[in-house]
Each structure stands twice: as structure tokens, then as C-alpha cells.
């Protein structure tokens, strides 16, 4: 309705002016047509009567002249008629002619206007109605004998004029209303058009001459999710606070929504790790973690404190007396507060319950979840330690606290007990399993209850939100408000919403990287490859959920099926060692190494090796160099909440080159729909996608990359954090209003008793 008014009112005003001008034009046209018609009739009548009048005038037969005039006045339009002599004396006249219009009047008129104006026409009024008066000369043998004056009724013309005016106004009114409705509908549907354009891009079949067809579904994204995303964006655009999300807008949201100047983040992994090298020098590392990639720019924008496990070998040497260190080095816009864990605590809480238990439980990647009571005990203890650290760090009774990930499921409830008015936003960075699978965890109720201490619990996808709510419904006594997407427990509401995580945009690492051509040159030289080599890149922690084995097998299958790739296609896998104390991770490390060696043996020729396994921690500048050098980046996760490497690849490619092959089991596949989306288990499909990517025309690469860059720039990490803060702000506002209301009711109730 609002859009109807916004568009309709100016349109209606414009059309009203047009209608006014049109009615004047229509009235004038109607009048001139009618006048011409009247004149024609008068001339016809006059010429018909001419002969008789001339002879009767010559013969002085006044009665016969009158008879002719009465005959003329029978015409429905001729009201009256008069005949004058050439000297303007009345010969005969029908009734109703006023003296001022008779022969005397004509005489006077002739003196005023000149004889040449007779015969002629004139508009006048008779009996209050409009008339047309015409004067016709009566001649015989070329000699002027007199004048015939005809008075014609013009009231019909006036009636037609009014009818034409009304009709024009009515037509314009209908057009105006229809045009307003149509314009509003067009405006509303412009987003639908965008969706269709999206679909068109999605429907771009990978051109792969010589490649076997994988059917229509090959490399296709999840349309339903795209539609949802487009709708969300449409709603945001329609809201008053439009515009792209930026650090400034995030700060503003924090101030407006929560009256906060800074935040406290709790995340197990610290954004800057101080490591002492073999030479004794201390280096600052950026850990390989999607959580850190996303949260660090948010922290720089909002300032405050990040509470984390101090895991670096030089971490203790770099903190102050309060275990704090200011970061980023050189910029120092916020603080890390380090919490120290004993080896036992780390083993039980981090390796045990968090990673052998919850990580395996939440990912569909065929690793058996391990739940041990001793790990659980450590998890509870460490969660207590971190909850206390948070409460020590916050200022005031209603701070804004962002709790991150599966390491801290119990912390929200623990904080809530200490700080009932805190705004606690918890984000679960990994998938949430369905209720049945969650049932494997012996402490599922405690985990669920712990999370419900939050003001907002966020997941990457709606599916994960649904799974969570379904689990709460099954395992806890609560009230679920499906309309508000929230859980009400003990009178307190916890929102459950999806917030797809992202990266900073513009991306500082991409901005700092050398031009793409330079990166390519450097990387090919580093790997000992020819300038025309085809380069594939993968960047991951060495984790079984990332599908690294499936990725290498897809490369092998591509080399088998497409012989032209042999000797030319090299896949460089940057693999950061991770959670190496866990047997499953140690086994993965060995398996990946053995697999790479086997494929290399099989396809090696001269110095050519198809797989380059770079098993080490890589700092962001090196990672971005590889991403910018690649022809194809393959993200093959078997299950992944989001996967930010996919988005970093898009951020890295400001040259609009390179193709992303992306697992359908990542959250990112719901947004990056112009990637070649594959099932990583299907080696036929994945190998065909790799071959397709390697021979994709530059124009198509650019088209796909442009669309993905537009998407990530819009859905950046500031939007992710901003939307959560805004939702939490609204919830806080609602809580305050209902507190005031119940206080008011108590006062009223107290007065009565
Ligand atoms: O979101 C990505 C993520 O998997 C986090 O859940 C996890 O904390 C991080 O990356 C890396 O894992 P870790 O901290 O165990 O090295």
C-alpha cells in the first residue's frame, strides 16, 4: 500500500494536469466540429431557399417570403429566420428574433465592422441559450436583393462539449488508477526480475565440448535458497536503512540498536597468535580459521575485547599483567584477553568434547562422534572459566557479548545467571544436526539449555535453525514461537535466526596483494611450472570434513578422462595442519599424503607432478597469492557451515578470472550460485566440472565472477554482525517495554489491595 501511494500520488497529480489540458482541447475540437457542421447546414438551407426568396422579394410577395422562412425554421437546428432588404428593412421574420438581431441590428453591425463582413457568422445568445447567427446574401441576376438571416440552436454543441469533457476526465481517471497500480506492481516485481536474471545466470550450462553430459542438474545450485536470499535482500532494500554494510554502519548499528560502544567476543581461537621460532624470535600468526577470518574485521570495527585460549608458544610473554595484549600489531584497536588452559583441560575440552564429540556430531562426514564423561567434565570446567573471564571483562550490567561456536555451548546460560540483563548473541559456526542425530550426545539437554541462555542463537542456514528448534522441542520443556522463530523458556525469549557469515569487503588481503598476473608469475615459478600450465588451488585446514581426499581423487579422475590435461594441469593443495593430536586427523594426514604420492606416481612425466601438497601454515598474503594465480579453485567440503575460502577466492579475483568449483554441501553454495556446484562424492561430476572450468571462455568466467563478487560485496561480514546486533537490539527493547508494563501492573495491583 505504501508503495502504491508513493508512486500513485505524483502520477495522479501529473495525470490530473494532463486531463485538464485534454478536456480543454477536446471541448474546443467538439465546438469547432459542431460549428462547421452548423455552417454547412445554414449554407445548404440558404442556397435551397435562394431562388424562391429572390423571386418573391422581387415581386414584393411578403407572405410567400414568410412561408419559406417558416419552412426553414422547421429544421430542428434553425430556431428562427428573417429576410431583410438590401437596405436592411425587415421583409419577414419568424417569431423569437429580438430586435437587436434583426435587420436593424445588422445595419448597425455593418457600420461598426465594415460592409465586407456581410454576409458572415456570429455567435450570440437567444432566450439565454447559445445561438449561431449567419447572414446570407440573396441575389438575382447578379444583383443584391436582400439578406437571409438564420439563427441556429447551439445548445446541442454545449451539451456535447460537456459530455466530451466528462468522458475525457473519466478516461484519464481510469488510466491514472491503472497506471499507478501497474507502476507499483512493476516496482515490486523488479526484484522478481532480478531473481529471473539470477536464474538465467544459474542456467548457464557449463560449455564443455567433448565432456560427457551429467544431466541437467549438473553443477547446479540450490534455487530455493537463492530465492530466499533474494527475498531477504529485497526486504532490506525496502527498509529505511538501506545501503551497503560497512564498518561505519556496523558501529552505528551497535550504538543505535544496543547503545553500545564496544563488544566482548568470546571465541576459542585467538585472532593473533604469538609463536617463538627456532631462532628465538617471536612471530605473529593469523590462524587458519573461518571464525577468525570473519570476526577479526568485526572486532576492528566495533573495538572491545576478544577473550580466547592463549595457545601460542610466546603468548604468555606478550601479555600484560591482566593477560591482555592490544592488537592488531601496529594498529591496536582492540584487546585480546588470553585464558590459559592446562594440557588436561585442553585435551578434554578442546580435542575431546569439542572436536571428537561435537565437531563429529554436527558434520555429516562419517567420523564417529566420541563422547567421554571425562571430556565433558573438562568442557564444563573450561566453559565456567571462560564465562567468568567474560564477566570480569564486561562493563556494566547490560553488556553486549558475542559468544562463538561449539566450544562454548554452556557459556550463555552461565553468563545469564551472573548478568541477567546482558545481551548475549551466540553464533554456531558449524552445521546443527537433526534431532535424531543430536540424540547421540549424552549431554544434549545441557548443550541445548546452555545455548538458550542467549538472547539470540544464530546459524548459517534456515535448515540448521529448524534442526535446532526441532531438537529443543524434542528434548526440553519450552514454548516454541514459530512465527517469531524463538524459544520461550521461563518467561525469557531466545531468538533462533539464520545469519550467513561472510568476509570483510573490501578485503584488506586482496587489496594488499600484487596484481593477478604478478601473482600467477610468482606462483608458477615457485612451483616450477611452465607459463601455460593450468593451475588448480585448494586451501584448507587438514580436516576430514573438507573432502581433501575426494578432491585429489577428482583431479585423478579428470586426468584419466581428459588426457589433454596430463602434463599441464597441476593442483596445489595448501593444507594447514590442524588438531593433530586427534587420531582421525593424524590418519587423514597420512591418507592425503599417500593419495597425493600415488596420483603423482601414476601421472608423473619428467618434472611434471599433478599434485603439489603444501602441508604447512600459510599466512594470508601467501594464500591470496595462490588464489589470484589459480585457473580454478576447488572447495570440496563433505559438509561445511559456510566455507569462507570460497568467498575469499571471489574477493581475490578482482581481475574477474578464475572458476570456483564448489561443493553443494557448503553453506556458501547457497549464495555463490555462479560457481560450478558439484557433489564432491560424485567423481564423474567433479572431474567434469574441473575440466569445464579449465576450458571456460574468459567472458563466461568474467560473467560468473562478476555476479559472485556482487553477491559477496553485498552480503559481507558487517551485514552478518549488523543483522544480529539489530535483532538483539529489538529483543532488548521488547524486554524493557514488557518489564515496564509488568512493573506498572504491579503498582496498580498494589494500590488496590
Ligand atoms: O568456522 C570455522 C571453524 O571450523 C571454526 O568452527 C573453528 O573454530 C575454526 O574454523 C578452526 O578450528 P580450530 O579453531 O580448531 O583450529
Closest residue (by CA) to atom 2 of ligand 1?
Answer: 290
One-character DSSP codes across 239-285: SSS-S---HHHHHHHHHHHH--S-EEEE-SS-SSEEEE-TTS-EEEE
What is the C-alpha to C-alpha distance for residues 674 and 704, in angstroms, rounded to an integer? 5
Nearest to 146 by CA among 93, 105, 104, 89: 89
Q: Please work out whether the CB of residue 677 comes within 6 Å of at least one atom of ligand 1.
A: no
Location of C-alpha cell 570476526:
295
457 CA → ligand 1 middle, Å: 18
Closest residue (by CA) to atom 11 of ligand 1?
Answer: 289
Nearest to 538 by CA among 652, 647, 646: 646
Q: Please work out whether the CB of residue 464 comes within 6 Å of at least one atom of ligand 1.
A: no
The predicted pLDDT at position 219 comes to 63
In a 13 Å sphere around the CA of 102, the CA atoms on its Cβ side amount to: 12
Q: Which residues have CB under 8 Å from 144's CB, separation 6+?
A: 86, 137, 138
**Mutate-to-test residue for ligand 1 from 269, 353, 543, 646, highest number of ligand atoms within 8 A of CB:** 269
Q: Please work out whether the CB of residue 290 comes within 6 Å of at least one atom of ligand 1.
A: yes
CB-CB contact of 79 with 152 (8 Å): yes
Q: How far is CA 327 from CA 324, 332, 466, in A?
A: 10, 4, 37
Instruction: Work out which ligand 1 atom sits closest to the CA atom of 267.
Output: 8
User: What secondary structure, in 3-state letters, does 32-69 show?
Assistant: HHHHHHHHHHHHHHHHHHHHHHHHHHHHCCHHHHHHHH
Neighbours of 612 (CB within 10 A): 19
What is the C-alpha to C-alpha distance for residues 57 and 53, in angstroms, rounded to an integer? 6
**Mutate-to-test residue for ligand 1 from 271, 272, 291, highest number of ligand atoms within 8 A of CB:** 291
Q: Please work out whether the CB of residue 578 comes within 6 Å of at least one atom of ligand 1.
A: yes
290 CA → ligand 1 middle, Å: 6
CB-CB contact of 263 with 402 (8 Å): yes
What is the C-alpha to C-alpha distance for residues 154 and 31, in angstroms, rounded to an integer? 9
pLDDT exceeds 90 at position 529:
yes
Sheet holding 632-635, edge to edge: 611-615, 569-576, 534-541, 632-635, 659-663, 676-678
The predicted pLDDT at position 40 comes to 81
User: What average pLDDT does the segment 495-517 reach?
Assistant: 98
**Whether domain 2-160 has CATH 3.30.450.20:** yes
Q: Please work out whether the CB of residue 430 comes within 6 Å of at least one atom of ligand 1.
A: yes
404 CA → ligand 1 middle, Å: 10
pLDDT tens sequence across 277-317:
999 999 999 999 999 999 999 999 999 999 999 999 999 99
Q: Please work out whether the CB of residue 429 comes within 6 Å of at least one atom of ligand 1.
A: yes
Q: Please work out whether the CB of residue 214 comes within 6 Å of at least one atom of ligand 1.
A: no
Neighbours of 288 (CB within 10 A): 24
Q: Which residues have CB under 8 Å from 213's CB, separation 6+?
A: none
Count of positions (residues) in the chain: 753
455 CA → ligand 1 middle, Å: 23
pLDDT exceeds 90 at position 318:
yes
Query: Which region, left, alpha or beta, applies to residue 388 given φ > 0 means left and ψ of -120 to 50 means alpha?
Result: alpha
Q: Please work out whether the CB of residue 291 comes within 6 Å of at least one atom of ligand 1.
A: yes
The H or E element spanning position 724 is: helix 717-752
Q: Please work out whether the CB of residue 642 comes within 6 Å of at least one atom of ligand 1.
A: no
Look up residue 727 and give its three cell numbers: 535483532
Strands 90-93 and 78-85, by their bridges, are antiparallel
CATH superfamily of this structure's domain 256-342+381-498: Glycogen Phosphorylase B; (3.40.50.2000)
- What are the beta bridge partners of residue 426? 403, 457
Instruction: Work out which ligand 1 atom sits closest to the CA atom of 407.
Output: 8
The predicted pLDDT at position 741 comes to 73
Query: Which region, left, alpha or beta, applies to residue 660 given φ > 0 means left and ψ of -120 to 50 means alpha?
Result: beta
CB-CB contact of 473 with 436 (8 Å): no
- Which range among 76-90, 368-382, 663-677 shows the weakest confidence by mean pLDDT? 76-90
350 CA → ligand 1 middle, Å: 11
pLDDT exceeds 60 at position 187:
no
DSSP, res 670: G
User: What average pLDDT does the segment 557-584 reach?
Assistant: 98
Domains of the chain by residue range? 2-160, 256-342+381-498, 522-715
Determine the topology of domain 522-715 in CATH. Answer: Rossmann fold (3.40.50)
114 CA → ligand 1 middle, Å: 106
With bands split at pLDDT 50, 70 and 90, how would you rate the model's confidence at 126?
Answer: low
Q: Please work out whether the CB of residue 460 comes within 6 Å of at least one atom of ligand 1.
A: no
pLDDT tens sequence across 328-363:
999 999 999 999 999 999 999 999 999 999 999 999
User: What average pLDDT does the segment 675-683 reach?
Assistant: 98
With bands split at pLDDT 50, 70 and 90, how would you rate the model's confidence at 149?
Answer: confident
Closest residue (by CA) to atom 14 of ligand 1?
Answer: 269
Coil, strand, or helix at residue 661?
A: strand
Closest residue (by CA) to atom 15 of ligand 1?
Answer: 579
**256-342+381-498 and 522-715 share one fold:** yes
The predicted pLDDT at position 388 comes to 98
pTM of the model: 0.72
- What are the beta bridge partners of residue 611? 571
User: What average pLDDT does the segment 609-637 reach?
Assistant: 98
CB-CB contact of 522 with 629 (8 Å): yes
What is the C-alpha to C-alpha distance for residues 540 and 636, in angstroms, rounded to an integer? 10
Closest residue (by CA) to atom 5 of ligand 1?
Answer: 291
Nearest to 504 by CA among 735, 244, 700, 268: 244
Closest residue (by CA) to atom 10 of ligand 1?
Answer: 289
Please state, for a pLDDT cut of 90, what percent of the chain lies above it.
64
Q: Please work out whether the CB of residue 341 comes within 6 Å of at least one atom of ligand 1.
A: no
291 CA → ligand 1 middle, Å: 6
With bands split at pLDDT 50, 70 and 90, how would you rate the model's confidence at 191?
Answer: very low
The H or E element spanning position 739 is: helix 717-752
What is the C-alpha to C-alpha distance for residues 93 and 102, in angstroms, rounded to an integer? 8
233 CA → ligand 1 middle, Å: 28
Amino acid at each position: 500500500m505504501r508503495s502504491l501511494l508513493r508512486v500513485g500520488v505524483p502520477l495522479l497529480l501529473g495525470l490530473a494536469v494532463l486531463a485538464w489540458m485534454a478536456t480543454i482541447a477536446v471541448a474546443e475540437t467538439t465546438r469547432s466540429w459542431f460549428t462547421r457542421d452548423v455552417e454547412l447546414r445554414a449554407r445548404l438551407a440558404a442556397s435551397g431557399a435562394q431562388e424562391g426568396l429572390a423571386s418573391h422579394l422581387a415581386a414584393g410577395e411578403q407572405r410567400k417570403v414568410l412561408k419559406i422562412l417558416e419552412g426553414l425554421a422547421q429544421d430542428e437546428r434553425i430556431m428562427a429566420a428573417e429576410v431583410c432588404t438590401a437596405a436592411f428593412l425587415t421583409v419577414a421574420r419568424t417569431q423569437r428574433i429580438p430586435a437587436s438581431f434583426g435587420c436593424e441590428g445588422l445595419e448597425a453591425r455593418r457600420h461598426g465592422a465594415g460592409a465586407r463582413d456581410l454576409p458572415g457568422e456570429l455567435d450570440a445568445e437567444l432566450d439565454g441559450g447559445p445561438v449561431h447567427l449567419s447572414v446570407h446574401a440573396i441575389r438575382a441576376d447578379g444583383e443584391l436583393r436582400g439578406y437571409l438571416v438564420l439563427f441556429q440552436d447551439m445548445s446541442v454543441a454545449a451539451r456535447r462539449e460537456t459530455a466530451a469533457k466528462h468522458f475525457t476526465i473519466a478516461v484519464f481517471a481510469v488510466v491514472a488508477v491503472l497506471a499507478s497500480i501497474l507502476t507499483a506492481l512493476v516496482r515490486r516485481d523488479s526484484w522478481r526480475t532480478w531473481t529471473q536474471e539470477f536464474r538465467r545466470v544459474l542456467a548457464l550450462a557449463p560449455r564443455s565440448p567433448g565432456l560427457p553430459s551429467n544431466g541437467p542438474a549438473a553443477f547446479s545450485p540450490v534455487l530455493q535458497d537463492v530465492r530466499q536470499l533474494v527475498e531477504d535482500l529485497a526486504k532490506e532494500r525496502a527498509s529505511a536503512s538501506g545501503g551497503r554494510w560497512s564498518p561505519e554502519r556496523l558501529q552505528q548499528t551497535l550504538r543505535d540498536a544496543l547503545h553500545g560502544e564496544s563488544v566482548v567476543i568470546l571465541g576459542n581461537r585467538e585472532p593473533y597468535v604469538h609463536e617463538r621460532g627456532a631462532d628465538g624470535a617471536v612471530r605473529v600468526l593469523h590462524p587458519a580459521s573461518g571464525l577468525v577470518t570473519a570476526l577479526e574485521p568485526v572486532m576492528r570495527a566495533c573495538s572491545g575485547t576478544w577473550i580466547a585460549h592463549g595457545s601460542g608458544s610466546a603468548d604468555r610473554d606478550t601479555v600484560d599483567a591482566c593477560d591482555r595484549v592490544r592488537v592488531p600489531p601496529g594498529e591496536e584497536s582492540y584487546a585480546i584477553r588470553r585464558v590459559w588452559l592446562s594440557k588436561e583441560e585442553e585435551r578434554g575440552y578442546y580435542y575431546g568434547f569439542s572436536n571428537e564429540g561435537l565437531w563429529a556430531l554436527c558434520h555429516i562426514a562419517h567420523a564417529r562422534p566420541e563422547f567421554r564423561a571425562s571430556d565433558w567434565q573438562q568442557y564444563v570446567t573450561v566453559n565456567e572459566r571462560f564465562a567468568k573471564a567474560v564477566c570480569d571483562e564486561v562493563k556494566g550490567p547490560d553488556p553486549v557479548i558475542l559468544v562463538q561456536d561449539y566450544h562454548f555451548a554452556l557459556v550463555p546460560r552461565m553468563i545469564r545467571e551472573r548478568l541477567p540483563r546482558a545481551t548475549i548473541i551466540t553464533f554456531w559456526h558449524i552445521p546443527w544436526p537433526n534431532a535424531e542425530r543430536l540424540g547421540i550426545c549424552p549431554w544434549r539437554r545441557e548443550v541445548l539449555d546452555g545455548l538458550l541462555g542467549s538472547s539470540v542463537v544464530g546459524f548459517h542456514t534456515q535448515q540448521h535453525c529448524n534442526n535446532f528448534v526441532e531438537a529443543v522441542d524434542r528434548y526440553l520443556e519450552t514454548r516454541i514461537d514459530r512465527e517469531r522463530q524463538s524459544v520461550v523458556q521461563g518467561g525469557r525469549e531466545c531468538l533462533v535466526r539464520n545469519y550467513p557469515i561472510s568476509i570483510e569487503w573490501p578485503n584488506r588481503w586482496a587489496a594488499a596483494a600484487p596484481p593477478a598476473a604478478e601473482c600467477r608469475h610468482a606462483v608458477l615459478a615457485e612451483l616450477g611450472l611452465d607459463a601455460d600450465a593450468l593451475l588448480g588451488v585448494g586451501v584448507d585446514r587438514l580436516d576430514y570434513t573438507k573432502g581433501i581426499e575426494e578432491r585429489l581423487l577428482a583431479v585423478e579422475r579428470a586426468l584419466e578422462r581428459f588426457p589433454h590435461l596430463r602434463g599441464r594441469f597441476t593442483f596445489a593443495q595448501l593444507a594447514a595442519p590442524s588438531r593433530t593430536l586427534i587420531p582421525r586427523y593424524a590418519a587423514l594426514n597420512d591418507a592425503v599424503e599417500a593419495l597425493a604420492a600415488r596420483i603423482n606416481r601414476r601421472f608423473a612425466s619428467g618434472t611434471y607432478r599433478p599434485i603439489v601438497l603444501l602441508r604447512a601454515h600459510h599466512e594470508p598474503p601467501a594464500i591470496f597469492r595462490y588464489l589470484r594465480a589459480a585457473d580454478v579453485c576447488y572447495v570440496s567440503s563433505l559438509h561445511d557451515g559456510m566455507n569462507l575460502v570460497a568467498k575469499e577466492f571471489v574477493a581475490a579475483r578482482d581481475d574477474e578470472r578464475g572458476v570456483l568449483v564448489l561443493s553443494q554441501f557448503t553453506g556458501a553454495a547457497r549464495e555463490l550460485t555462479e560457481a560450478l556446484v558439484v557433489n564432491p562424492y560424485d567423481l564423474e561430476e567433479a572431474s567434469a566440472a574441473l575440466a569445464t572450468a579449465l576450458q571456460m571462455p574468459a567472458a563466461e568466467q568474467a560473467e560468473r565472477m562478476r555476479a559472485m563478487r556482487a553477491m559477496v560485496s553485498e552480503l559481507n561480514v558487517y551485514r552478518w554482525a549488523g543483522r544480529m546486533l539489530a535483532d538483539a537490539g529489538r529483543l532488548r527493547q521488547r524486554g524493557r517495554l514488557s518489564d515496564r508494563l509488568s512493573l506498572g501492573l504491579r503498582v496498580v495491583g498494589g494500590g488496590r489491595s
